[in-house]
Amino acid sequence: QSRDVDGALARAADSARSALELDTHSIDARINLALAYGMMGKRATLSEAISRNYAGRGRRLISEALALDPNNARAHALLGAWHFEVLRRGGGMGAMAYGARLSSGVSEFRRGMALAPDDPLIPLQFAVALLQRDAVGNAAAAQHLLARSASLTAHDALEIAAQNNAHRLADALAAGPDAARHVVSEITF
């Protein structure tokens, strides 16, 4: 199963790179490639993630997407997730090396939700980031975000999957932080 996921991520990255070659101004291709790098970085050891510069490459792509469309809600949310993940994996060294900040992560997620208040993916991603950071201290905020995600209208299969994950994670969170941590570890974007 691990090789299947790694292969799928490699194909996703290749597809996003191909799309970017076809349309050098594509925001979606940049976001998708940054997301693939982020997921690859999560699966890699810390030394592999650093040597392959997943964080730096992802940040560059997100910055390019926001330069092309400063009001792209999902790009802001992805930047929020980037800050949280760099801090989660790299701690103080990640903050120093890449400029990751918790306050920036929170503000980017909030900006994404303000720009797209009807997008169920963004509050789910924010809840996951908060729970990965501190499942006990962020439980109430995460429950609120999960309820928001679950209450919105889904427009496609990705948003339906996000809402299913929001319900599943909310149920797990109600059972306790350990159950929530387990479900969070299974959620991929």
Encoded amino acid at 55, one letter: A
Reported confidence tier of residue 2, pLDDT bands at 50, 70, 90: low
- Mean pLDDT within 80-98: 93
> For residue 189, is pLDDT > 70?
no
Please give the structure tokens belonging to residue 30. 């940049």
Q: Phi and psi dihedrals of 136, rounded to 5? A: -85, -55
Encoded amino acid at 189, one letter: F
- Which carries the bigger pLDDT value, residue 99 or residue 6? 99
Tell me how far apart the alpha carbons of residues 45 and 155 are, in angstroms, rounded to a whole number: 36
Q: What is the pLDDT, as a whole number, of residue 188?
A: 66
pLDDT in tens, 116-151: 999 999 999 999 999 999 999 999 999 999 999 999
- The answer to whether 172 and 180 are in contact (CB under 8 A) is yes
Q: What is the pLDDT, as a whole number, of residue 186?
A: 83
pLDDT in tens, 155-178: 999 899 999 999 999 999 999 989
Q: What is the pLDDT, as a whole number, of residue 1?
A: 61
> For residue 94, is pLDDT > 90?
no
